[in-house]
Amino acid sequence: MERTELNTLGEFGLIDRIHSKFTTQNHETIKGIGDDAAVIDVGDKYMLISTDMLLEGIHFDLSYTPLRHLGYKAVAVNVSDIAAMNGIAKHITVSIGLSNRISVEAIDELYEGIRFACEDYKVDLVGGDTSASHSGFVISITATGFVEKDKITYRNGAKPNDILCVTGDLGAAYFGLQILEREKQVYLANPEMQPELQEKEFLVGKLLKPEARTDIIHELNELGVVPTSMIDISDGLASELMHLCTQSGVGAIVFEDKLPIEDQTMLTATEFNISPITAALNGGEDYQLLFTVKQADFEKIKNLSDVLPIGYMTDSKAIELALTSGGTTAIKAQGWNHLEK
């Protein structure tokens, strides 16, 4: 039999390949594979379902990831997927794979973080599973939530001239990872050395304990604004924008000087000799929301303190960055490919 290597497809190519082999069997299934969450018709509302798996050595390193933070993050990234459909998460299940090097006290720490996240996002832990693992620690969470049928937001609804918006700031989590990896190497070379993180707490915190932007969903709802498309930023702004454009059949212009980058991110970019724009576009793990709104609706949201317009959608297929120096350059997705880690 002919053998095809996984890295020739990439993560999204593999997902598309799997998707192409299945058709829906039940009329309640409104949306399956291909968005941030599946959409199920349950009567007067849509139920949203999302699953994320985190693997030791791929998504986290226990040498610098506190288990309490890991538990919190595992919940937050799933809540973020529900938010990206304009919904609110309500329930989670947690499944874990454990090796014998994980103690009972360590599991207590993990679930303490999960409990904090459940309290913060007002979700209920309603089940899960445990299993032995011979290849490290594995945590998989499934989240369910709900959204009004007339407020559901997919990736494929953007139209030319829609305003492209993003929440929060970008690139900080990427530099948080760079800092922790650097300090790990320093420690391995000399275990007597203590990590120097006092001035980097903002960046490290963005990586270890991201927050799902459910606050923005509530604010949009209060203003009566339903985004025309939306996605959460897990693999980098460029990658997520490409999903919106491809599925909506539009292009986009992003203004370089509008990308929200915090001062500490800028300073650390200089320290690592890495472009902050590159980190903002491709860093990943920001878990902010990228969405589009009609021009008429932008007037309603322009005063939201943590929502920033960064560009607009076009009727071409080009996805471009308008440079501060003048001219444009193509935006190419270079974010995380989980099959190549």
Taking only the tens place, the pLDDT of each residue in 154-197 is 999 999 999 999 999 999 999 999 999 998 998 888 887 777 77
pLDDT in tens, 293-314: 999 999 999 999 899 999 999 9
340 has pLDDT over 60: no
Q: What is the pLDDT of residue 338?
A: 46
317 has pLDDT over 90: no
State the DSSP string of 86-141.
Answer: T-EEEEEEEEEEE-TTS-HHHHHHHHHHHHHHHHHHT-EEEEEEEEE-SSS-EEEE
> Mean pLDDT across the stretch 104-130?
96
Q: What is the pLDDT of residue 10?
A: 64
CA–CA gap between residue 7 and residue 164 (Å, rounded) = 31
Q: What is the pLDDT of residue 11?
A: 64
Q: What is the pLDDT of residue 287?
A: 97
- Residue pair 71/112 in contact (Cβ under 8 Å)? The answer is yes
Residue with the bigger pLDDT between 171 and 332: it is 171
> Mean pLDDT across the stretch 239-256?
96
Beta strands in 169-296 (DSSP E): 229-232, 251-255, 289-293
Retrieve residue 70's tokens: 């890991």
Give the least confident one: 89-103, 151-165, 321-335: 321-335
Give the least confident one: 3-7, 162-166, 279-283: 3-7
256 has pLDDT over 60: yes
CA–CA gap between residue 308 and residue 206 (Å, rounded) = 19
Q: How confident is the model at residue 4 (pLDDT cuts 50, 70, 90)?
A: confident
